[in-house]
Structures are given as structure tokens and as C-alpha cells.
């Protein structure tokens, strides 16, 4: 699925099942909540915290998809074409950072 197809699929779902988009501010709060849920899994799986008993079946992919879903909702309701936005962002990062990370000793293999 392309990003464009994902934006359309989410929009179609909202129109069929969701009644309407939540407000932009509600979606911003929901995005923050979803990122927090993703962070909880990341810090337990890859960081120093351990899972609680009821968290051992946490689904990393599902939490990432939740974040992506809400981000797509926000893009749709604000008129952002995420495909074009991502292309421009990659160009910006390439122009700005093409040499910077190669000069970072912290990123070089030990």
C-alpha cells in the first residue's frame, strides 16, 4: 500500500464507520497518547524497563500502526499530502545532513 492509498483507505474508513474525523486538537491528543503507548513498549523491549505481567503480549507493530493511523487522519483533515511531504522532507534532510552523520564519531562502528 502506498502512502496515497493509505490516506484514501483511512478516509474511506472514517466516512463509512467513523461518522466524521475527530477535531484536529482531539487527534493531536490521541496521537500523543498513541506515541506514549509505543514508547512504553519500546522502553520495555529495547530499554532498561521490564514488562509488567499484563504487558508481555504488547504488539509493537500494532502500536506503530495506531500512530500512523492518527497521523494519517491529521494529514487528511488538514489537507496534507503525506507522499509529497515525505519527499520534500527527505530532500531537506539530504541537503542538510548528507555529510553530518558520517562525521559523527558516536555513530561509527567500534
Predicted local confidence at residue 25, as pLDDT: 98
Q: What residue ranges do the domains of the chain occupy?
A: 3-80
pTM: 0.89
Predicted local confidence at residue 110, as pLDDT: 64
* Nearest one of 98, 38, 28, 84 to 65, comparing CA atoms: 38
Just give the CATH number of 3-80.
1.10.287.1080
Helix 60-78, helix 24-45: angle, nearest 10? 160
pLDDT tens-digit profile, the chain (110 residues): 999 999 999 999 999 999 999 999 999 999 999 999 999 999 999 999 888 877 767 899 999 999 999 999 999 999 999 999 999 999 999 999 999 998 898 888 76
Q: Residue 35: which residues within 8 A CB-CB, separation 6 or more?
A: 67
Cell triple for 108:
561509527
Predicted local confidence at residue 109, as pLDDT: 77
Rounded to an integer, what distance in angstroms lies between the CA atom of residue 110 and that of residue 37? Answer: 33
Question: What number of other Cβ atoms are within 10 A of residue 87's Cβ?
Answer: 12
Amino acid at each position: 500500500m502506498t502512502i496515497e492509498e493509505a490516506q484514501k483507505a483511512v478516509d474511506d474508513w472514517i466516512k463509512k464507520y467513523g461518522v466524521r474525523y475527530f477535531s484536529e486538537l482531539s487527534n493531536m491528543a490521541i496521537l500523543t497518547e498513541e506515541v506514549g503507548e509505543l514508547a512504553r513498549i519500546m522502553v520495555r523491549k529495547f530499554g532498561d524497563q521490564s514488562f509488567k505481567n499484563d504487558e508481555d503480549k504488547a504488539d509493537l507493530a500494532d502500536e506503530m500502526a495506531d500512530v500512523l493511523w492518527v497521523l494519517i487522519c491529521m494529514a487528511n483533515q488538514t489537507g496534507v499530502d503525506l507522499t509529497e511531504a515525505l519527499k520534500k522532507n527527505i530532500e531537506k534532510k539530504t541537503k542538510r545532513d548528507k555529510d553530518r552523520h558520517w562525521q559523527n564519531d558516536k555513530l561509527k562502528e567500534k
